[in-house]
Structure 1
Amino acid sequence: MAPVEHPVPSPALVDLARAHGISPDHWGFHGEKQDVAAHTLVAVLRAMGVDATTPERVDVALASAADAQWRRMLPPTVVVRRGRSVELPVYVTDGVPVEVWIELESQRGAYELSQLDVYTEPRVVDGRSIGRAVFEIPADLPLGWHEIRARTPDGQTRTTLAVTPDRLELPASFKEFRAWGLMAQLYSVRSRQSWGVGDFADLADLGWLAGRSLGADFLLINPVAAAEPSTPMTPSPYLPSSRRFINPLYLRVEDIRETAYLSAADRSLIEWSADGVREMSTDPGPIDRDSAWDAKKAALRVIFEAPRSAARETALSEFRASQGPGLEDFAAWCAFSDHFAGQEWPSELHDPTSEATGALRVELSAEIDFYCWLQWVADLQLEQAQRAALEGGMTIGIMHDLAVGVHPEGADAWALGTVLAKGIGVGAPPDMYNQQGQNWSQPPWHPEELARTGYAAYRDLLRTIFRHAGALRIDHVIGLFRLWWIPEGNPADQGAYVRYDHDALIGILCLEAQRAGAMVIGEDLGLFEPWVRGYLAERGILGTSVLWFEKEAGDRPMRPEGFRPLALTTVTTHDLPPTAGYLAGEHVEIRERLGLLTEPLQLVRQQARQERDQMILALAARGLVDDDPSERELVEALHRYVKATPALLLGVSLADAVGERRAQNQPGTDQEYPNWKVPLGDPSGNPVLLEDLLDNARLRSLAAVMNE
């Protein structure tokens, strides 16, 4: 039967949407209420596996949703906060006795649960009378991943229990002082030894130098998650193939131990590969990832074939075992992608568990070994970078960045199956800076499937990224509460918000961060419900404040005293031009050139001038600038202004520190602008190399400001 679409959804369709966590309306950035069209709700429900194409099917789906929890003896997953007792519903045939206990992690024992005297009227589901028994999960269980088991005369079942910290406590040192650090796009920070792209050796050197010579406490970098295994490579670090695994583009080939023991002929092959791309490190033009990766990949294959010591071979085997099936699936996807070289995969290979997939895994086992090895050597180099940063004197070290999602045709989309929703892109509705909305194209977590699988994919992702991180920035942390789902074929403004179990997602985040001894910062900019910031602060997760976005009444710049203490506060962000460019109105001119403005150019220019003038007045009122300040004086004054806030963490863009004016990214564009390809440069666009950073007067002066 053909779908029946209505511009306004029926009450039953609205109820069905709400039953699955879909908001049938939302508030726009001008304060107006926006209703979601019926066809959008139907498409979002379809992505969740719910058929709502006719009124009859909507009614059936509604009835099924009402009975869903009664069909399971135990919930799909239970996530609790330590220190709080929780009631656990257990559904069994009415009148049948049930025993419930908890198997603690690492076989530390079992804990039998007590049944509470709570009565609920039985419910007939699928012709069977179901009763609801309630047990108490105690408040004093140890943190960790446990298992709830329930047994009746008819059988036994189990579910995952995560006991998470009530609050992620800050390191003790932060009770005595604040920290500042640099923010850098790693690919843009090149040295004379780089192969045209900043790499993990550059990261280690930058972290050590920033700590030892500049007094910085952390180094925030772009996501270094995996991209495609073969060129062309997606430039955006925020659209990875996999968020869990690493992009080997960032490997320093010469730092892999086996390189030192290559034969003369093989060393010549390495040098030949390097010669063609090393000179690109001084090229002021867009970064050429494809040439760099083609050269590195050829060299890495030579090193992979070289013999490894017994200890190194054992370490590689242990790494593969520790990463489990997730690594093997990722490596298989990479090998398959190389094998088909851009051609369409046979349909039977779309399932990672199919017989055909298994056969091809065997055929390509050597290639799978290669891609597992790449992850191992990348992990070792990331470990060394974090160690170097701490040895340089940083208190936090490397702060990694977690993208919102993954490429719709990447490794995670293939390997994680139903845990990611199909036919949906994630984005954002229109706001002040992106008035047409944004579609980032990533498939979102399927909230119900995520819970059904015990949040395993989410947990494994966090564990991997926390391995060598002193802190983690969560891009668009609001996505752990709700995400803007955009059905395929819809414009970016025709989506709907889908809600997630934020208590579970934030709790698991806090658990894995505490185990790793890391801090967490949530990028909480844009449209969101006001209570979210309070909730994140309650759980010990820092927010993000950007000077240009923080306003008081009359659209005036917020006074430093009004900023949040629990935040990473910065002057700018990677989605704006560096401060020198922003002060010159480049954020307006670039949007005009690219056709992204929805308001008259002169009006937007006027608004930008007013914003700049009000900011200068705010600086002058605090004695931070004199009459007619220079660009450099303004940049330093803005950082003094930020330093006057009570924020726990202060971030300084490396691009600001060297006077760069070009934006790294222009939201709402793809090929129209060289997004994520701009090398670190001076005010004239000339490359600034890592070896020359400490001789940069602007950088040293700005670091002195932060250390005052």
Structure 2
Amino acid sequence: MAEPGRFDPNNRPPAAVPLDGLARQHGIAFTRPEPDGTEVPISRTTKRKILAALNVALDDEAAAAMPACYLPPLLSGERVWGLTLQLYELRSGRNWGIGDFADLAEICHLAGEWGADFIGLNPLHAPFLADPGRCSPYEPSSRRWLNPLYIAVDRLPGYAPEPDLSADLEGLRAGELVDYPAVAAVKLAALRRFWRVWREGNDKVYTPACFDAFCRQGSESLRLHALFETISMDMVARGHAAGWHDWPQEMRDARSPAVQAFSQSRQDEIEFHMFLQWLAHVQLSDAVGAAERAGLRIGLYLDLAVGEALDGAATWSEPQIYLSSASIGGPPDPWAVDGQDWRLAAFLPSAIAEGEEPPYRRMLDAAMRYAGAVRIDHAAALGRLFLVPFDSPPSEGAYVDYPKEALLQVLSEASHDHQCLVIGEDLGNLPPGLKEDLARANLLSYRIFSYERDQDGFIAAADYPALSLACISTHDHQTLGGWWAGADISARAEHGLVPQATADQDLAQRETERADLVRLVGAEDLAAPAPDSVSLKGDDLDRLIVSLHRLMARTPSMLLGVRLADLTKEPEPTNIPGTSESHPNWQRKLSVNLDELDDLPLVVEVTAALRAERPRQVGP
């Protein structure tokens, strides 16, 4: 029997040894040199053939077992915690109106001093640079490439400040919301200037040889993404939309003669967009190094969106692997009575896990190269997706099965190859047995406090599963003060997501939930407000925030995610699911600057409580 709070590997079935694990065991190199001295990856087919030549048999019985994802050894005996945040929401005195990779390095430093072991981030996927107002990180143009708006321009080698930009930058920093079009305008203009100077060859830090190697590694995928961005910019200038569905017919096919002719005429611009991806890669890699130096033992925890924009670079580049006339959504439920159409493209079930380098594997590799942990948004997609035909409302959609065993095998292999922990957002309407399958595959369950209830109220801290990430709130929720007041319920009614009668019932239920919370916190000998206090402010709210974080830290959950917006007591939500035009989703910044966080009394008190409840082990 495992001790409380410890994960017992003996309760897990034997896991298949991933192909790359076998190759590593038998000394097979993962790259080979080219004549110019660069290294190219060895294919999986070659690895299998070399293993066969070495008389190493691939264990069919083990391969048929439930694959198990990587778990860091430290989690066999420790429970750790980390910060979760939206990168764009970070304020600092030097950024350009949006949190950036330099801010990420700084928050890593702070988190390390506070005793954290990871930084959880919103998806960093590539957006539509030609239409920066399309800012949802969960509707990216491509999940294989990064968002260049997170580049810290002022930290590029040799960058010289431009005096005429000072007033503009001060205005961008001062805003309560990220002004994505304005941020994109000033950053892209500055990056173009840097690009022109860089090509003169005077940079001894970011060398052309490194850029060339990055481009070779990115191969055709990188070129097509850059080509898409170039065409998209041109189309917007001509009055079309940034997405390819609105382009002239001859430009909708990435391999058409018209597109090839355009490509030949815009080589310089295409290379600029490849350059942006390289800069983003270098700076994110630097942030990974900053996390390691700060002592964050897990490092960055990156979120993976469940799909991509229907009209983005990914679907334009490889239409053959995506559904052509249906999108991902959700059926009617109490939070969205008409159902939801998320307007996201899904991989074809027949293509997602097929081929030498399956599309799902390539998407995982793009994130895991930087991450010590990844979160699979809408983990139900590992078993099925709710698909909505383009010409139908969500109420006429249907569930479609996906190859669960094959996807878990791909996920397990990628997890071990990158030594990357996997968290599955296993909320909502899951296929029968999927939650159990995810647990057997070592995916950490995603446990949000307000959802963890049974017939007696909120479950006790001790009843959380060890193989989980616990948290109080996420980007789709109000912070704790807003939840207490029922602001999330009122918002759903205000935005027409539920009838007012449903909201009234939910507000009555929230009274019960407040009373349940007070009882639960009191049972742990922690301070709690009176449950009939509908609005909490000042010290009362601070005491509740500290108490609930201390309670959640006592759970056996391996990971505890601490939302930075809860510690700064943000009054407005990051995102209200189901809204797009009626609420400024994915735009709101924190109310506190980075350099003020270390002295914020609530931050000091909560992080001290977390260190006490989840102490680090001393020694090896």
Shared fold (TM-score, shorter chain, > 0.5): yes
2:67 aligned residue (166, 169, 172): 166
Match of 1:249 in 2: 149
Match of residue 611, structure 1, among 513, 526, 529: 513
Q: 1:376 to 1:140 in 2, by over 3 A?
A: farther
1:224 has 2:124 as partner? yes
Give 1:363's aligned residue.
265
2:424 to 508, 522, 540: 522
Equivalent residue for 1:513, pick from 393, 415, 436:
415
Partner of 2:546: 636
**Residue 302 of structure 1: which of 172, 189, 193 is its match?**
193
User: Are 2:213 and 1:318 equivalent residues in the alignment?
Assistant: yes
CA deviation vs aligned residue, 1:408-434 (integer Å, no higher than 9, x gap): 111011012121101212111233333
Q: In structure 2, how many angstroms separate the alpha carbons of the residues matched to 1:596 and 1:496? A: 21
Residues 32-80 of structure 1 show CA distances to partners (whole Å, capped at 9, x for unaligned) of xxxxxxxxxxxxxxxxxxxxxxxxxxxxxxxxxxxxxxxxxxxxxxxx9
**One-letter identity of the residue aligned with 1:705:** A
| 2:302 paired with 1:400 | yes
Q: Would you say 1:588 and 2:489 are equivalent positions?
A: yes
> Equivalent residue of 2:303, what SS?
strand
Q: Which residue is 1:572 aligned to?
A: 473
Which among 535, 539, 553 is matched to residue 437 of structure 2? Answer: 535
Question: 2 CA distance for matches of 1:388 and 1:499?
Answer: 41
Deviates more, 1:421-430 or 1:316-325: 421-430
Does 1:283 pair with 2:175? yes
Q: Secondary structure at the match of 1:108?
A: helix
- Kindly indicate whether the alpha-carbon contact (under 8 Å) linking 2:301 and 2:375 is maintained by their aligned counterparts in 1: yes
The equivalent residue for 2:111 is 210
Contact 2:45 2:356 in 1 (8 A): no
Where in structure 2 are the equivalents of 1:152-551 lying within 5 Å? 166-211=67-112, 213-259=113-159, 268=162, 271-273=163-165, 275-284=167-176, 286-306=177-197, 307-308=200-201, 309=203, 312-341=207-236, 342-343=239-240, 344-454=246-356, 456-551=358-453
Letter in 2 for 1:319: F
What CA distance in whole angstroms lies between the structure 1 residues aligned with 2:397 and 2:357?
25
Aligned partner of 1:557 in structure 2 is 458
Residue 30 (structure 2) aligns with = none
| CA distance 1:640–1:365, change in 2 (3 Å) | same
Question: Highest Rg: 1 or 2?
Answer: 1
- Counterpart position of 1:96: none
Give per-residue Cα distances to partners, 1:492-521, cap 9 Å, x unaligned: 232111111111112111211211111111
1:695: how far off? 1.3
What one-letter code is carried by the residue in structure 2 that aligns with 1:227? P
Deviations 1:514-539 (A, max 9, x none): 11111111111111134212211211
Cα separation, 2, equivalents of 1:83 and 1:244: 23
Per the normalisation by structure 1, the TM-score is 0.75
Corresponding residue of 1:70: none
CA–CA separation in structure 2 for the residues paired with 1:457 and 1:274: 44
The residue number in structure 2 matching 1:676 is 586
Please list the CA deviations of residues 241-280 of structure 1 after superposition, one character each: whole Å capped at 9, or x if unmatched. 11110010111001122425xxxxxx53xx4345413432
Q: Shift of residue 233 of structure 1?
A: 2.8
Distance 2:192 2:166 in 1: 14
Tell me the secondary structure at the aligned position of residue 327 of structure 2. Answer: strand
Distance change (3 Å), C-alpha of 1:616 and 1:217 = same
Q: Relative to structure 1, is the Cα distance of residues 355 and 623 closer, same or farther in structure 2, using a 3 angstrom cutoff?
A: same
Deviation of residue 647 (structure 1)?
0.2
Q: CA shift at 1:337, angstroms?
A: 0.7
Q: Output the CA distance in 1 between the equivalents of 2:520 and 2:308.
A: 41
What are the superposed Cα offsets for residues 300-345 of structure 1, whole Å, 9 maximum, x if unpaired? 0000111234771000000010111111110000011112225243
Q: Say if 2:476 and 2:576, in contact at 8 Å, map to a contact too.
A: yes
Write 1 or 2 for the structure with the bigger share of strand: 1
Instruction: Name which of 541, 561, 573 aligns with 1:663.
Output: 573
| 1:484 counterpart SS class | strand
Which structure exhibits the higher relative contact order, with contacts defined as CA atoms closer than 8 Å and separated by 6 or more residues?
A: 2
Q: Secondary structure at the match of 2:394?
A: coil
Structure 1 pair 140–488 and aligned structure 2 pair: CA distance change class (3 A):
closer
Unaligned runs of 5+ in 2: 1-14, 20-43, 241-245, 531-538, 613-620
Question: Displacement of 1:139 after TM fit?
Answer: 3.1
RMSD value, Cα: 2.5
Mean Cα displacement is larger for which, 369-378 or 436-445? 436-445
Contact 1:164 1:508 in 2 (8 A): no
The answer to whether the 8 A contact 2:69-2:411 is kept is: no
SS at match of 1:399: strand
Contact 1:330 1:412 in 2 (8 A): yes
Question: Whole-Å Cα distance in 2 between the matches of residues 170 and 197 of structure 1?
Answer: 33
CA gap of 1:112–1:381, structure 2 versus 1, over 3 A, is closer
Partner of 2:618: none
Q: 1:508 to 1:348 in 2, by over 3 A?
A: same
SS in 2 for 1:631: helix
- Aligned with 1:569: secondary structure? strand
Identical counterparts, % of pairs: 32
Whether the aligned pair in 1 keeps the contact of 2:159 and 2:194 (CA below 8 Å) is yes
Q: Tell me the amino acid that sits aligned with residue 212 of structure 2.
A: S
**2: CA distance, partners of 1:103 / 1:491:** 44
If the length of structure 2 is used for normalisation, what is the TM-score? 0.85
The structural deviation recorded for 1:541 is: 1.3
The SS at the match of 1:634 is helix
| 2:604 alignment counterpart | 700
Distance 2:488 2:248 in 1: 45
Secondary structure in structure 2 of the residue aligned to 1:245: strand
Contact 1:447 1:501 in 2 (8 A): yes
| Cα distance in 2 for residues equivalent to 1:604 and 1:691 | 39
Assess if the C-alpha contact under 8 Å between 1:241 and 1:406 holds in 2.
yes
Q: 1:361 Cα shift?
A: 1.1
Shift of 1:231: 3.2
